[in-house]
Chains A and B, each alone.
Chain A
Amino acid sequence: MKVAVIRFPGSNCDLDTVYVLRSVVGLETELVWHKHFNDGDFDAVVLPGGFSYGDALRAGVIAAYSPAMKRVKEMAKEGKPVLGICNGFQILVESELLGGALLRNDCLTFICKWVTLRVDNDKTAFTNSMKKGQILKMPIAHNEGRYYNDLEAIREMEENNQIVFRYSNDKGELTSESNPNGSLENIAGICNLEGNVLGLMPHPERASEPILSPFKTDHGKLIFESMVNAIKNGGKYR
């Protein structure tokens, strides 16, 4: 079982993600320079956070057209787990593996803070070790994280169970106070129809060890552990 974390020029959560996958989750993990990604054979791939290509043009758009993403798309089609965190989510959206867009935060500044998430779909490659309705603590750190899509598409996503994480309060209520960036429907993370491609703005790699959490939690780890289950079960998530 081997997982790749792709480093694009400007990725900056790559080493953090590799550290957590290797030392916390105990998974064989390779940090792969984007140009070398197509040479390897991996069971899953993580697109880490950061500022790929310096956010030139639009966050994630240049990386979306890189040769590495062609291979990522193939892996997605093969049913292998594909995870995009923060800038990785932006790349997944720009490469149309996931729908919608991530716009500038409604407060117009970068925001770095711990938020509360509610799990809305526990049957994906990245949430199969959680329970629907479970409350998670994770930090966000982004400038462009306001999820947007047309309402019809959002309804469709809801019907298909593609909305995986929403910003909520501790009781699981979707309030505007708990929505840090103005995302539509408090959306924090979504998946594809099959549930093997997931993008989220919060950083699970920063929330996988109790020592880093103001709440002494390690909820981020659940995402990576779910990914391990998904690899083991070859696409069956429950």
Chain B
Amino acid sequence: MTIVEGVQVDLKPEELSQAVKMLGKKPNAVEVGMIDVMWSEHCSYKSSRPILKLLPQSGPRVVCGPGNDAGAVDIGDGYVAVFKIESHNHPSAIEPYNGAATGIGGIIRDILCMGARPIALLDPLRFGSIRSPRSRWLFKYVVKGIADYGNCVGIPTVGGEVEFDESFESNCLVNVVCVGIAKRDEIVLAEAKYPGDVVVLAGGSTGRDGIHGVTFASRTLTEESEEDRPAVQVGDPFTKKLIIDATLEILKTGFVHGLKDLGGGGLTCASSEMANKGGRGIDIELSKVHLREKGLSPFEIMLSESQERMLFIVDPKGVETVTEILDKYGLSWSIPGKVTDSKNVRVFLNGSLVAEVPAKLLAESPIIERKAKKPSYIDELKKVEKPPMPNDLSEVLIQLMASENIASKEWVYRQYDHEVGIRSVVKCGEADAAVLRILGEDKGIAVSSDCNSKHCYLDPFNGGAGAVAEACRNVACVGALPLAIVDCLNFGNPEKSDVFWQFKETVRGMSEMCKVMQTPCVGGNVSFYNEDEVTKKAVKPSPVVVALGVLESLKNVVTLTFKNVGDCIVLLGKTFPEMGGSEYYYTIHQIEGGIAPKVDMKTEKRTIDLLLLAMKESYINAAHDCSKGGLGVALSLMSVKSKLGLEAELREANTENLRFDELLFSESHSRFIVTTKKANLDNLLELAKNRGVFACYLGNVISSPQIVFRYEDNEIVDCDLMEIKQAWESTIPSYMRL
């Protein structure tokens, strides 16, 4: 850290001299502070921007791509779905309750300021081992923070995921997703286009909380990070609820020309990005800003990250109407500025200029070309000897179902209101993706978030591609056509060449998959510096992907439960000996290495297309993607969820001459388990054959509570359904009963 003009900055000396050169003068303390925040990794994406360009970002359905507060896709009939993902890793790692809560608050604002009504939240979470008391503490309070905030603002939390792995021990990953819905012509952008427009700051008052939150997020956590606790903001869901209601009412007046929330970088970020996007300038008079306490310096006001604030750019004719609505909801507001044609952000205190910086300089930081070098572990970990074949595969299956990464997450989602809004057609735990209806229409959207950090660690390219593939598979499982993705890329320190290599490879894999899948990436977030200064260990690369799909009719929704005794169970897709990063290796054999599953992208796309086609033909009664825990776990889960047994003969599924444990627990991509009526079985198999997708009939749903797998008529697994259900349901509650 360097001291400039009495201000502690994170900028490197060479970045500072570049700033001086671009500015054409020596910046004062306020200006340095503004540049420092805007050029932080968190705000500027200075390391990741060149790599993110690889991702396809446009397509016929894309209404707004990256660079906006959230991505928007056309879902037909005049509607757009708006969605975005963000991380709140650092704050949550030191203050789980408020860290997670304000993460939710921030992502809701991102959707709202696009002019959309937020209708759903999802929370992909990653913690250290559940056996660690610290991880359980983080887990418990992160979930509580999400629940208390999300429940109060009245937006249902409809999905997410929880992964436990030792690499997240000191740096948990708390990602938050919000989905919104709007009519196409209601979309608003974060821009200040018309000089003379009035800047209205609404909502929470500005205080000292959260100053330097973004620079804190752009560093690795250290022992001293606990002292950064004041950099974590405090959430106020009640005010947020009023802001949502007021903002939606204000937008209806038609007087709003631009809208942006105040998140990381506070007033500095909001004003400079809006001015830059509109090609204008903004003047701010600090004495007008409504403050929580007296005596805040210009530096503090410009950098405060106090929560629940929105910045409206308003037609001067509409100021009265807008402020009346704010008054109705009892929200504070102030009019600290106006749009100018200067192209600069100018900050005044009682009329005298205290800072002047070009908006473009703030909003478009210089790029840093990072070095990427393949880490040596990648090749070393591939060389792993096959573990001995377990004697009792039934016992292994039960252990896997009980493992914390596979076990039921009901303990989590019971605490979330997942029904408010009356749009939740497919709810938590019922299928691979959540389905939300569009009120008043026979139309819906499906969303799912996915990532397998163990796969990504061993093979970042295929891990990244796999995250996209799995999210799209999950969306397809409920009958929705995947349209687009957003991503949250959680990595270690990008200044380290091996971390940056992981990052580059992951994005490359995602890009390739997105292109083949025709799901552009319409937004996202990069979170670097997720590592522990003490152990020098980075988190496993975690590219969390959220896929959004559209259902043209809600009559065609499919869930994962077996529907009828006697239904035929069919496997789509081939299984390969890809045991690296599997739950089976991790839980049963404590092996970290091996060959991680590869994604055959064309097969993946073909298989998803086939599934959707078969659904359209009404062949499919239930569908579930085959991922964590492989075929064995996927089949068992369908059984457990429907409280119906199954019998399966696996001979035909074994096209690659695998050992039984590989056949049951390999996590190969591009596979689904579906059920169909006996009368449709041949049609389904025929359709698959015509479309070039491997499909085989495994067996049937049975009424007796048993899970039986046979191989050439020999029983290799025979489990009592209730025993397996008990194992699957009790793990998380028994750990969390503190």
Contacts and interface: CB of A to CB of B under 8 A. Distances in A.
Interface of A: 7, 9-10, 12-13, 15-16, 19-20, 23, 33, 35, 49-51, 53-56, 109-113, 139, 141, 143, 203, 205-206, 209, 211-212, 214
Nearest to B417: A141
Interface string B228-246: 0000000011110110010
A16 B152 contact: no
A141 B556 CA distance: 28
B415 A111 contact: yes
Interface stretch (B395-403, B424-432, B462-470, B571-579): B424-432
Interface residues of B, number: 35
A219 to B, nearest CB: 15
Given A9-B238, A10-B241, A211-B554, A110 B420 contact: no
Nearest to B430: A214
B137 to A, nearest CB: 16
13 contacts: A9-B241, A9-B242, A12-B152, A13-B154, A54-B236, A109-B144, A109-B415, A112-B416, A143-B151, A205-B422, A209-B422, A212-B425, A214-B430
B418 A12 contact: no
B414 A16 contact: no
B417 A50 contact: no
B375 interface: no
A10 B330 CA distance: 12
Given A50-B154, A206-B419, A212-B425, A23 B440 contact: yes
Q: From DSSP, what is the main secondary structure of chain A's interface residues?
A: mixed
A10 B420 CA distance: 13
B147 interface: yes
Would you list the 9 A-B pairs with minimal beta carbon distance, nearest first?
A12-B154, A54-B238, A141-B417, A16-B422, A51-B152, A110-B415, A112-B417, A206-B419, A109-B415
Contact of B425 (A15, A51, A55, A211): A211
A122 B245 CA distance: 37
Given A16-B422, A23-B440, A139-B419, A112 B554 contact: no
A227 B330 CA distance: 33
Given A19-B439, A110-B151, A110-B415, 15 more contacts: A9-B330, A10-B238, A12-B152, A15-B421, A20-B422, A49-B420, A51-B152, A55-B152, A110-B148, A206-B420, A211-B437, A211-B554, A212-B424, A212-B425, A214-B427
Contacts of B437: 211
A12 B330 CA distance: 17
B696 interface: no
A21 to B, nearest CB: 12
A51 B238 contact: yes
Find the residue from A112, A205, A206 having the highest chain B CB count within 10 A.
A112
A110 B411 CA distance: 11
Interface string B548-588: 00000010000000000000000000000000000000000
Contacts of A109: 144, 147, 414-415
Given A19-B439, A211-B425, A203 B419 contact: yes
Nearest to A52: B238
B294 interface: no
A33 B324 CA distance: 14
Contacts of A112: 413-419
B153 interface: yes
B83 to A, nearest CB: 21
A111 B439 CA distance: 25
Contacts of A113: 414
Contacts of B241: 9-10, 12, 51, 54
A53 B238 contact: yes
Interface of B: 144, 147-148, 151-154, 236-239, 241-242, 245, 328-330, 413-422, 424-425, 427, 430, 437, 439-440, 554
A238 B196 CA distance: 65
A50 B242 CA distance: 12
B53 to A, nearest CB: 40
Nearest to A112: B417
Contacts of A12: 152-154, 241, 420
B54 to A, nearest CB: 40
A56 B238 CA distance: 9
A9 B417 contact: no
A141 B420 CA distance: 9
Contacts of B245: 7
A206 B152 contact: no
Contacts of B554: 211
A63 to B, nearest CB: 12
A7 B239 CA distance: 15
Contacts of B330: 9
A111 to B, nearest CB: 6
A143 B151 CA distance: 10
Contact of B422 (A10, A111, A206): A206
A13 B440 CA distance: 17
Contacts of B154: 12-13, 50-51
B422 A9 contact: no
Contacts of A209: 422
B670 to A, nearest CB: 30
A8 to B, nearest CB: 11
A50 B427 CA distance: 20
A27 to B, nearest CB: 16
A7 B248 CA distance: 15
Nearest to B416: A112
A110 B147 contact: yes
A49 B151 CA distance: 11
A197 to B, nearest CB: 24
Contacts of B414: 109-113
